[in-house]
Amino acid sequence: MTDSPYILQAKNLTKIYGENVIFKDISLDVKKGETIVIIGPSGTGKSTLLRCLNLLTPVNSGQIFLEGEEITAHGVDHDQVRQKIGMVFQNFLLFNHLTALGNVMIGLTKVKKMPTEKAKQKALHELERVGLADRAHHYPAQLSGGQQQRVAIARALAMDPLVMLFDEPTSALDPELIGEVLGVMEQLAHEHMTMLVVTHEMGFAREVADRIIFMEKGRIVEQGSPEELFEHPQHARTREFLGKISELYGKKEKK
Amino acid sequence: MISFFEFFVRFLPDLLSGMGMTLLLTAEGVLAGFILGLAATLARTYGGKFWRNLAIAYIELFRGTPLLVQVFLLYYGLPGLGITLSREWSAFLALGLNSGAYQAEYLRGSILAIGEGQMLAARAIGMSKWKAVFYIILPQALRLAIPAWANEPVSLLKATSVVFLIAVPELMTRAKLIASRTYDPISSYLAVAVLYLVLVYLVDAAMKWLEQRTRLPGLSAVNESS
Ligand SMILES: Nc1ncnc2c1ncn2[C@@H]1O[C@H](COP(=O)(O)OP(=O)(O)OP(=O)(O)O)[C@@H](O)[C@H]1O
Ligand SMILES: [Mg+2]
């Protein structure tokens, strides 16, 4: 392992679907404990970028480094890498045949090969972290959207990831359920979990992010602290987008 | 009616032993078909090109030809290639292969219905593809398949009757023997019909029980939710 100050690093990533260049030459440095919020219009490649970062989708060119080691190199075990990069999806994607506890445990028992009793203790602890210890034996269909998403977060946390990727974690939620999920994420940020969050929740971005990245048409247009971006955006496009987004999402933003 | 009742009671022991063979053929066929169908579906959905094509060829071949032709090919055709199978083995193999092709389709439908999201979520926590298939996809897909799949044992049960054409001593074969011995085809085939009805009823009940047992809490109709 090299002594890199960055926990996750992407160099000149390019992703092409057929004839479509989704993004080109994107570079990204993520410091340990940093919370980065990625914003940008629909179809810009935000989800694709996250999926490339944890190798769910291969990039066409470029390199990705996790703790200084190249994970895009030949012969790297992708399953091993993904254990270290947690991912939370817009539509939760809980395993429907397993209870909340089962969802959090299965990665521990089947991937990490942890003994059942130990895995159960750890899973319960993770459910506690997201405030759902009392729902451990509920099936996904018996949980609200907000609860399902918190279980999904616990499921990812259980693997002790180095980084957590969130792809619009609250976009599929009723407004009154958004707060509980953002609350858990805010708490993670305070615990210095390294996070990359794609979201339209500008309140969260403003209060929790260390850095905001504005992406458009497969490029990083502008990035900086929330203050820099919200108060002094350098690009007209950033200003325009922020204006539109606060109009669209402003109403349900307050928790 | 009285005479049919007497007839029925008189030949019941004979018919019951045929019924045993029918049930055995059905159970073996469903089981072998399940294993074959599952393997074919996994090969088709998750296998490489070679396995995918092999699975498709198998499914198309056995769904595209009549069961009777398959039975005859195995029983009368294979000896030409130097392989001689007993009547029972020919029947069992044909039923298993045939049912497997149909079961593969039921399973495939439900695997597709589970969607790619579950696979994505499984891969995201570091599961390999095959671990995801066995721990995440199949437990859901098999449950989802049950209501449609539950028709298969019943339909195979009825289909077993064709093997009387190679004289496997199952229900139909017994009935035919009784009919020619008593010169009373109506009563003997009526008796057989009654017994098939009873069997179908029993198999149906077993399927309903299975469906209840595997239902997930909170999902009243598993196949309606995404
Ligand atoms: N599997 C795929 N095959 C082909 N094209 C794809 C695929 N996945 C995404 N795309 C395309 O890539 C582009 C970027 O999609 P992506 O989902 O990454 O955007 P996004 O920024 O996350 O948008 P949104 O805000 O709507 O979630 C879109 O034009 C989309 O149609
Ligand atoms: Mg997206």
Distance CA A155, CA B72 (A): 54
Of residues A93, A96, A159, nearest to B126 (C-beta): A159
Q: Which pLDDT score, from 0 to 100, does residue B193 have?
A: 94
SS3 call for B115 = coil
Q: Write down the pTM of the prediction.
A: 0.89
Phi-psi category of A68—alpha, beta or left, where left has phi over 0 and alpha has psi -120 to 50? left
Taking only the tens place, the pLDDT of each residue in A107-154 is 999 999 999 999 999 999 999 999 999 999 999 999 999 999 999 999
Interface of A with B (CB under 8 A): 54, 56, 79-83, 86-87, 89, 91, 93-97, 106-107, 110-111, 138-142, 152, 155-156, 159
Q: Kindly provide the ipTM of the predicted complex, given to two decimals.
A: 0.92
In this predicted model, which residue has the larger pLDDT, A4 or A5? Answer: A5
Nearest CA to ligand 1 atom 16: A45
Q: Is the pLDDT of residue B176 over 70?
A: yes
The residue-averaged pLDDT of B111-120 equals 94
Q: Which pLDDT score, from 0 to 100, does residue A255 have?
A: 39
Nearest CA to ligand 1 atom 3: A17
How high does pLDDT run on average in chain B? 92
Q: Which pLDDT score, from 0 to 100, does residue A3 have?
A: 64
From residue B123, how far is each of A34, B120, B127, B142 by CA, in Å? 25, 5, 5, 20
In this predicted model, which residue has the larger pLDDT, A244 or B122? Answer: B122
Distance CA B140, CA B122 (A): 13
Phi-psi category of A40—alpha, beta or left, where left has phi over 0 and alpha has psi -120 to 50? left
Instruction: Give contacts of B123 with chain A, Cβ < 8 Å.
Output: 56, 79, 82
Q: Is the pLDDT of residue A248 over 90?
A: no
Of residues A56, A80, A86, nearest to B123 (C-beta): A56
Q: Which pLDDT score, from 0 to 100, does residue A2 have?
A: 55
CB-based contact (8 Å) between B143 and chain A?
A: yes
Q: Distance, in angstroms, between B124 CA and closest chain A CA? A: 6
Taking only the tens place, the pLDDT of each residue in A13-53 is 999 999 999 999 999 999 999 999 999 999 999 999 999 99
Taking only the tens place, the pLDDT of each residue in B138-157 is 999 999 999 889 999 999 99
* Alpha-carbon dihedral B72, B74, B80, B85, rounded to 10 degrees: -120
Taking only the tens place, the pLDDT of each residue in A170-224 is 999 999 999 999 999 999 999 999 999 999 999 999 999 999 999 999 999 999 9
Q: Which pLDDT score, from 0 to 100, does residue A247 have?
A: 76
Q: Which pLDDT score, from 0 to 100, does residue B115 have?
A: 84
Bridge partners, A38 (sequence order)? A198, A213
Per-window interface: B 183-222 vs A, CB < 8 A: 216-219
Taking only the tens place, the pLDDT of each residue in B31-60 is 999 999 999 999 999 999 999 999 999 999
Q: Residue B220's closest chain A neighbor by CA?
A: A141
